[in-house]
Amino acid sequence: MSAHAPHERPDTGVSPLSVQALLARERDRYAQTHPRSRELAGRAAEHLMFGVPLHWMNDWGTSFPLQVAHAQGAQLTDVDGHTLVDFCLGDTGAMFGHSPAPVAAALQRQATAGLTTMLANEDGAVVAQLLAERFGLPQWQFAMTATDANRFVLRWLRAATGRPVLLIFNGCYHGTVDDVFVDLIAGQPVQRPSLLGQVHDLLPTTRVVEFNDLAALEAALAPGDVACVLAEPVMTNIGMVLPQPGFWEAAQAIIRRHDTLLVMDETHTLSSGPGGYARAHGIAADAVVVGKALGGGMPCAAYGFTADLAARAQAAKRAAPPGHSGIGTTLTANLLAMAAMRATLEQLLRPEVFAPMHARAAALADGLRALFQRHGLPWCVTQVGARTEFQFCAQPPHNGSAAGAAMDPTLEHALHLYLLNRGVLITPFHNMMLVCPDTTDADLTRLLQAMDGALKELGRG
């Protein structure tokens, strides 16, 4: 989910009047064909704030929230009986499909043998060993969400280094960690105004630069007070922003020169393969965060450290006074979550599972490029493993500001709702599509045909 400063509508090659007309038609169609969802949404509004369990579930562009009946593999069925091909997949949480068989079986076995105990079991050691093998970092700890994992890592690294400042890239996504809600507006850092209830000024301890800007990175680290650079190896939540050739190689040298640590948040870029994007592209991080898909859809996350950083973190803990460290929650590493992670790592986070996902994502990306070219639209398509994104600009953006300037929420809503009404679901907030092991060639065809229909209607407007 993204929330950034408003900007002028980009030149998408599509008439704004045509977009508004399509959105109005599709909202009418949705309302007519989803009476049961409307009924349940009305019932939910009695006791749920905003009528949904979490307020951003209203951000799909529908006139009332879609209500899910069940989901399996690459499909979900709503309460009105419509079956949709799902390319959202819980915004990566269900990257291996809904209720993948190995995870479902592991959960069934564990459910009768204890859900949570606040104690260790064999799965913990096995999961940590498998994570070490996949990601190349020897020491691990767990969390319930990637947000928690990022928050805990920041505490550990500030304690280990004695440095207070965090450096992030403009437009980044690291969950709801308070520290990361700082944007560059006209080149100046600004605490994001949409952040609710924030009473502390983030600017003294959060520094922000543009992705791919090596000079800005060097300048931001020069004071010697930055504990770590927290980064996605590819920016993923403001559209997609790829690292330019040589960026991470040079960035790592700069980070090391200033004795700063590098944290790779692989929550979305796990789509790249069993060890994430960093392992696949030779980025040597001091710490890695993995969430969402790690438990096949169960709430769980993990973070790993190099041996040196783990030793420094443990020393900081032992030197601290007794009491709560601010790290960890009671349900962290519960038995159910550990079982889910073990099943995912042993049976799903494997090269042979990723290979067909990557191939179909590449076919989807090629199909979208051909469609946009045929319709004369200046839109680009980017792929990172099983993850594909289209953006309303001719060339892939090089930083968060450029990516944000290419976003058009009204056009997104119109396209997403048109697809939904024709049995295809993609991610809200931007234009991400994810391929899972259960996605078929027929599913790709269905998405591309529906997108073709939407573009034809927009062109006639």
Q: pLDDT tens digits, residue range 62-109? A: 999 999 999 999 999 999 999 999 999 999 999 999 999 999 999 999
- Alpha carbon 225 to chain centroid distance? 28
* pLDDT score of 2 more than 80: no
What does the alpha-carbon distance between residue 353 and residue 386 come to, in Å, rounded to a whole number?
11
Take residue 175 and report the two structure tokens written for it.
């969950």
Cβ(239)–Cβ(391) below 8 Å: yes
* pLDDT score of 1 more than 90: no
Cβ(180)–Cβ(151) below 8 Å: no
In tens, the pLDDT along 382-394 reads: 999 999 999 999 9
Give the per-residue pLDDT at 7.
59
* φ and ψ at residue 365, rounded to 5 degrees: -60, -45
Take residue 373 and report the two structure tokens written for it.
């070219």
What does the alpha-carbon distance between residue 156 and residue 178 come to, in Å, rounded to a whole number?
16
* φ and ψ at residue 269, rounded to 5 degrees: -80, 5
> Kindly report the CA angle at 245 between 239 and 249, in degrees rounded to 5?
110
In tens, the pLDDT along 117-155 reads: 999 999 999 999 999 999 999 999 999 999 999 999 999
* pLDDT score of 5 more than 80: no
Take residue 11 and report the two structure tokens written for it.
């030149």
In order of 60, 61, 145, 423, 428, the CA distances from 56 in angstroms are 8, 11, 17, 22, 10
What does the alpha-carbon distance between residue 230 and residue 232 come to, in Å, rounded to a whole number?
7
What does the alpha-carbon distance between residue 251 and residue 94 come to, in Å, rounded to a whole number?
32
312-326 mean pLDDT: 94
Q: Which residues contact 219 (CB under 8 A, 6 or more apart)?
A: 209
State what percent of residues in the chain have pLDDT above 90. Answer: 94
Q: Give which of 145, 138, 172, 91 is closest to 427, Cα–Cα.
A: 91
Give the per-residue pLDDT at 227.
98
Take residue 295 and report the two structure tokens written for it.
């438990």
DSSP-assigned states of every residue in 366-388: HHHHHHHHHTT---EEEEETTEE
Q: Give which of 390, 355, 357 is closest to 89, Cα–Cα.
A: 357
Give 303's strand partners. Answer: 141, 289
Residue 98 DSSP symbol: B
* pLDDT score of 3 more than 80: no
In tens, the pLDDT along 188-240 reads: 999 999 999 999 999 999 999 999 999 999 999 999 999 999 999 999 999 99
* pLDDT score of 8 more than 80: no
Q: Comparing 3 with 369, which gets the higher pLDDT?
A: 369
> Rg of the Cα trace of the chain?
22
Mean pLDDT of the chain: 96
What does the alpha-carbon distance between residue 95 and residue 387 come to, in Å, rounded to a whole number?
9
Cβ(419)–Cβ(396) below 8 Å: no
Take residue 146 and report the two structure tokens written for it.
């990637």
In tens, the pLDDT along 278-304 reads: 999 999 999 999 999 999 999 999 999
In order of 205, 265, 314, the CA distances from 154 in angstroms are 12, 12, 14
Place of tokens 């080149």: 187
Give the per-residue pLDDT at 56.
86
